[in-house]
Amino acid sequence: MGMPRKLKGFMLFQNGENYVGQIGEITLPKLTRKAEDWQGGGMSGPIKVDFGQEAIQLEWTCGGLIKSVLTQYGITKHDGVLLRFAGGYKAEDADGYDSIEIIIKGRHTEIDLGTAKPKEDTAVKITSAASYFKLSWNGETVMEFDFVNSIENVGGTDLLAALRTAIGL
C-alpha cells in the first residue's frame, strides 16, 4: 500500500518565461476518448467504437494582467504558444518528489479579463487549446499526442503507427 501523490508546488512557463508568483490555479487537461455506440446485426448490445482523442485544453488563472499572455492572443499558428507545467508531487510515505511535466503547444482560445472593482482581488482566466500534449513523469514520457502528425503515444506504444502506415504517412 502507498499514500497518494499530492501536488506540493507548481510553476507555469509560457514560451520559456516563468510566471513565478503570478498563477493562482491551473486546471490540467481532461483526457477524453471520442467514442460512439455501435450495435450491428447479431450483437446483443452496443459497444463503444474508439474514434481517437477529443480536444485537449489547459485552463489557468493569473492573479492579474500579464502583458506577454495578452500579446499571444489571436496567434495564427496552431502551435504558436508553448506552455510548460512543472509540478512537484509527493506521497507522505516517500522521501522524494516526483516531477510531473506537461507540455502544451497550441493557442489561447479565450481570455477572460474578469471584473474590475477598486480594492478587490483581480483574476484573469486563460483557456489554451492544444495541438500537442506531452506528460512526463520524472523525465519519462508517459503520453504524447501530436494531432497534426497523427501520433498518440501512451506508455511507449504509438497507438496510431499502424494507421499512419495504412494511409501512407
Q: Report the predicted TM-score, pTM, of the whole model to 2 decimal places.
A: 0.92
Tens digits of per-residue pLDDT, 107-125?
A: 999 999 999 888 888 899 9
Q: Would you tell me how many other CB atoms lie within 10 Å of the CB of residue 147?
A: 19
Residue 96 lies in a domain: yes
Q: Does residue 45 belong to any structural domain of this protein? A: no
Query: Is 42 part of any domain?
Result: no
Distances (CA, A) of 89 to 31, 37, 137: 20, 37, 10
Q: Given this model, what pLDDT does residue 62 score?
A: 95
Tell me, yes or no, whether 121 lies in a domain: yes
Is the pLDDT at 70 greater than 90? The verdict is: yes
Domains in the chain, number: 1
Rounded CA separation 11/24 (Å): 10
Q: Does residue 89 have a pLDDT over 70? A: yes
Summary mean pLDDT of the chain: 95
The 3-state DSSP class for residue 37 equals strand
Mean pLDDT of 23-44: 96
Residue 47 lies in a domain: no
Per-residue confidence band for 10, with pLDDT thresholds at 50, 70 and 90: very high
Counting residues of the chain whose pLDDT is more than 70, the rounded percentage is 99
- DSSP letters spanning 80-120: -EEEEEEEEEEETT-SS-EEEEEEEEEEEEEEE-----TTS
Residue-level pLDDT at 1: 63
Q: List, for residues 135-164, the tens digit of each pLDDT value.
A: 999 999 999 999 999 999 999 999 999 999
Task: For residue 96, give the CATH number of its domain.
Answer: 2.30.110
Cβ 141 vs Cβ 103: under 8 Å? no
106, part of any domain: yes
pLDDT at 2 (0 to 100): 87
Handedness of CA 29, 31, 36, 37 (dihedral sign): negative
**Burial call 132-144: b when 16+ CB within 10 Å, e when fewer:** bbbbbeeeeeebb
Amino acid 30: pLDDT: 97
The answer to whether residue 131 sits within a structural domain is: yes
* pLDDT recorded at residue 148: 96
Q: Residue 139 belongs to what domain range?
A: 5-29+52-166
Asked if residue 142 belongs to a domain, the reply is yes
Q: CA–CA separation, 169 vs 163, rounded Å? A: 8
Bridge partners (DSSP) of residue 6 are 90
User: How large is the average pLDDT for residues 79-106?
Assistant: 97
Lowest-confidence region among 42-46, 96-100, 120-124, 125-129: 120-124
